[in-house]
């Protein structure tokens, strides 16, 4: 099985009916065999778009050199799409070389689809077999929010704006499709955990925002199937002798295989699509920070979130993965790869503060600076051109903010 299908992603589509400002959210916590990820700007046939790609080349096995892969992204029409691999809806047997084309489908859809109707037309007219077995989440600038279960020859839509389909205004999904075979369900433990976190937040009337998605889900060490939540109970468990700081990497949302977490904050119906923001954590989210990237018809991705070389790596991703490998997944003998040092993340060790606290502090600083600019733009006080110019200037400092907060974990 290729690395592309070793995915164990967790995702959600959130209708504007469930967010504090009426703007829908699209979230993907990505797990894959290719840990170096970056952002890239593209000019499609109809729309420009920004998306998450594999560093070191992003061509699917068996695909032509003209086929690119994107795993979540948004275009200048305000249309955004992502996927999670599914393992229980494949309807026929194809050679492996003709499968695993989800990233290609996303790349093509972002270049030509302006809204959900366009996406459905795209699926209806796309040559079969599709070469996919996946769940696709989409939002658009008409207020649309939906999830599609897609196999080689057909698809099933779930309208997240429909209260009969999504009573609370959101849908959570992992690596199985609700309409698929019940005996081939994968990712159920993470589905239970993510669903519980969403449900409890909804009951508390908490806001569904990008920071909620990153902090409550992509940095959660909760396993609902086992009834364990180290994020909340770690200190008590250590005090009672139930934990020594080393724990199995067992079906948490963030895993050794996590490569990024992305939340696309869309727009309300009729709003300017350029108000869309692509919040992105590259690497391992407990060791990284979310960087806001504005939707634009030119490349405004910060230099540390991309690479000038087609096969190059993003500096932000490399830093996050360095901390992860040096301090968290630091065991490389015997079965050590299956364990993480959660004490480094949650309580700190050897005189260092918790990794998670350092990243949260940096992210709060970045969010405060960006939101001040973003609110000016939303209010119409500055033009799009000035917004992007100021963003370019401010975003250059976001890497320094991160490094300053995590400096004690970096080599001197």
Gap between the Cα atoms of 410 and 412, Å rounded: 6
128-182 pLDDT tens trace:
999 999 999 999 999 999 999 999 999 999 999 999 999 999 999 999 999 999 9
Q: Which residues pair with 41 in a beta bridge?
A: 50
| Residue of 153, 136, 134, 137 whose CA lies nearest to 145 | 137
Average pLDDT rounded to a whole number, residues 295-320: 94
Full strand arrangement of the beta sheet holding 155-159: 37-43, 48-54, 72-75, 80-85, 134-139, 145-150, 155-159
Which pLDDT does position 3 carry in this prediction? 38
pLDDT score, position 123: 98
Residue 243's φ and ψ, nearest 5 degrees, are -155, 140
Look up the CATH superfamily of 3-317. Answer: Penicillin V Acylase; Chain A (3.60.60.10)
For the chain, give every domain's residue range: 3-317
DSSP string of 161-225, one letter each residue = T-TTT-TTSEEEE-SS-TTS-GGG--SHHHHHHHHHHHHHHHHTT----HHHIIIIIIT--EETT
Look up the pTM and report it.
Answer: 0.96
Decide if pLDDT at 291 tops 70.
Answer: yes
CA atoms within 13 A on the CB side of 140: 17
Written as six digits, the tokens of 2 are 């290729």
Alpha-carbon gap, residue 226 to 196, rounded angstroms: 13
Length of the chain: 412
Peptide bond just before 146 cis, omega within 30 deg: no
Which percentage of the chain shows pLDDT scores above 70? 96
The answer on pLDDT for 334 being more than 70 is: yes
Q: Which two tokens stand for residue 73?
A: 């992204």
């Amino acid at each position: 099985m290729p690395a592309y299908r070793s995915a164990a992603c967790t995702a959600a589509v959130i209708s504007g009916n469930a967010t504090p400002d009426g703007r829908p959210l699209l979230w993907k916590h990505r797990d894959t065999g290719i840990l170096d990820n970056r952002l890239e700007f593209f000019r499609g046939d109809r729309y420009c778009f920004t998306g998450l790609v594999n560093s070191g080349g992003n061509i699917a096995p068996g695909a032509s050199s003209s086929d690119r892969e994107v795993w979540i992204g948004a275009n200048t029409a305000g249309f955004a799409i992502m996927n999670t691999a599914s393992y229980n809806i494949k309807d026929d047997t194809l050679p492996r070389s003709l499968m695993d084309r989800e990233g290609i489908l996303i790349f093509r859809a972002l270049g030509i689809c302006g809204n959900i109707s366009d996406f459905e037309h795209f699926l209806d007219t796309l040559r079969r077999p599709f070469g996919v077995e996946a769940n696709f989440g989409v939002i658009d600038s008409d207020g649309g929010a939906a999830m599609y279960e897609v196999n080689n020859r057909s698809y099933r839509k779930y309208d997240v704006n429909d209260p009969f389909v999504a009573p609370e205004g959101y849908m959570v999904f992992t690596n199985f499709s609700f309409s698929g075979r019940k005996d081939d369900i994968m990712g159920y433990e993470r589905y239970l955990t993510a669903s519980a976190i969403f449900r409890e937040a909804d009951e508390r009337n908490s806001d569904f925002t990008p920071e909620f998605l990153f902090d409550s889900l992509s940095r959660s060490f909760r396993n609902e199937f086992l009834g364990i939540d180290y994020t909340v109970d770690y200190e008590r468990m250590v005090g009672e002798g139930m934990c020594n700081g080393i724990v199995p990497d067992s079906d948490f949302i963030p895993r050794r295989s996590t490569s990024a977490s992305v939340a696309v904050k869309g727009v309300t119906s009729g709003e300017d699509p350029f108000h869309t923001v692509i919040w992105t954590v590259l690497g391992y989210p407990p060791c990284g920070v979310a960087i806001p990237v504005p939707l634009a018809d030119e490349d405004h991705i910060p230099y540390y979130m991309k690479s000038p070389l087609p096969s190059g790596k993003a500096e932000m991703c490399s830093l996050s993965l360095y901390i992860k490998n040096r301090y968290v997944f630091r065991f490389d003998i015997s079965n050590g790869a299956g364990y993480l040092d959660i004490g480094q993340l949650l309580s700190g060790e050897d005189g260092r503060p918790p990794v998670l606290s350092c990243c949260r502090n940096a992210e709060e600083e970045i969010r405060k600076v960006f939101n001040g600019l973003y609110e000016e733009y939303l209010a119409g006080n500055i033009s799009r051109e000035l917004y992007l110019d100021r963003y370019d200037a401010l975003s250059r400092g976001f890497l320094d903010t991160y490094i300053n907060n995590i400096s004690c974990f970096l080599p001197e």
